[in-house]
Amino acid sequence: MTLTRTENWTGTSSDPNDEQFGDVIETAVPETATDYDAVVVGEPYDGAVIGRTGAADGPAAIRESLAGVKSHHFERGPVSSVGDLGNVAVDADGVAAAQRSVRQVADRIHDLGALPVFLGGDNSLSYANASPLLDRGSLGVVSFDAHLDCREADGEPSSGTPYRQLFEDGLDALAVVGARHFETSTEYADYLDERGGEVVTAETVAADPGGALDAALAAMGGVDQIYVSVDVDVLDAAYPGSSAPTPGGLQPRELFRLVRRVAGRPRVAGFEVVETAPPLDTENRTVDAAARTVAHFLGGHHA
């Protein structure tokens, strides 16, 4: 397993009563993963981005932001028992090779006994992160994303192809939450519809967040496992630190609530945040939202 260790976590507050994620998350190795409920894994790669690059810097920026986030949730209490396995070393020539390299590492991480939390990196790695679960039973994906990411690979895969790749390998269900009108092609909408996929638009989330998540989970049917993916472009364009920000997206509090609710489902087998691009951000808005999305997922899983 090719992982490079990161610096030890530390909180940023001088107040001894301020327990932060920097005080909670511990540097770990695969051999100690069973000591934790969840393990963080960074994936600093953006070689497959269709739009603007920058997501390779996402894991480091999310970690830095998350270290200063306090660990307490009012309804669920403090988060604990989280390890950080470091970063996947992606040394590959081409996107398909990068996916194969990351998939090998993700396959072993899924076997460690702790829930993996992947910090991307671009959306092409969703295929590498989720595909090992296809060998462990039926699989559905709940994808919080402005786009469907069901493009055909034209030669090499891209950040727009992961769910078509997963369907070709046997994915059983896909629900896309936060998709925008006028941000996808009819051909890809038809492709997903033909496979029984569910699209829950950003407008639906705004009108009825609880009902939106219920619709997404209903689409999971009787699958054995659910993989949860957050592409930060699901947020409104006021959060610009992603490859393809667009207007009309979710607000962070809507995303936090949905992610926290899905995290507590017993079938959840993995989680990721992808496409966070710090060089494209304004005042760290998107990075901070991505870090808090991770916090809310860990809080929901912990509960």
Give CA–CA dist 299/83, Å, rounded.
14
The mean pLDDT value for 203-209 works out to 96
User: What is the share, in percent, of the chain residues with pLDDT greater than 70?
Assistant: 99
* CA angle in degrees (0–180, nearest 5) for 268-278-127: 35
Could you tell me if 266 and 225 are in contact, meaning their C-beta atoms sit under 8 angstroms apart? no
What confidence tens digit (pLDDT) does each residue in 114-142 have? 999 999 999 999 999 999 999 999 999 99
Contacts of 209 (CB under 8 A, 6+ apart): 254, 257, 258
DSSP string over the chain: --EE--PPP----S-TT--BHHHH-EE--GGGGGGSSEEEEEE---TT-SS---GGGHHHHHHHHHHTSB-EETTTEE---EEEEEEE----SSHHHHHHHHHHHHHHHHTSSSEEEEEES-TTHHHHHHGGGGGGS-EEEEEE-SS---PPPBSB--TT-HHHHHHHHT--EEEEEEE-TTSS-HHHHHHHHHTT-EEEEHHHHHH-HHHHHHHHHHTTTT-SEEEEEEEGGGBBTTS--SSS-BSS-B-HHHHHHHHHHHHT-TTEEEEEEE---GGG-STTHHHHHHHHHHHHHHHHHH-
**Measuring CA to CA, which residue among 116, 140, 135, 122 is closest to residue 1?**
116
Give CA–CA dist 143/156, Å, rounded.
22
What confidence tens digit (pLDDT) does each residue in 162-199 have? 999 999 999 999 999 999 999 999 999 999 999 999 99
Helix orientation angle between 285-302 and 58-67, rounded to the nearest 10 degrees = 70
**Res 303 pLDDT > 80:** no
Q: Tell me the one-letter amino acid at 288.
A: D
Q: What is the pLDDT of residue 20?
A: 98
Contacts of 204 (CB under 8 A, 6+ apart): 211, 212, 215
The mean pLDDT value for 239-257 works out to 97
Domain 3-302 grouped into CATH 3.30.1130.10: no
Task: Give the start-to-end residue ranges of the domains of the chain.
Answer: 3-302
Beta bridge partners of 19: none
Q: What is the CA radius of gyration of the chain?
A: 17
**Res 302 pLDDT > 80:** no
pLDDT confidence tier of residue 155, bands split at 50, 70 and 90: confident
The mean pLDDT value for 220-248 works out to 97
- Rounded to whole angstroms, what are the CA distances from 176 to 13, 20, 141? 37, 32, 8
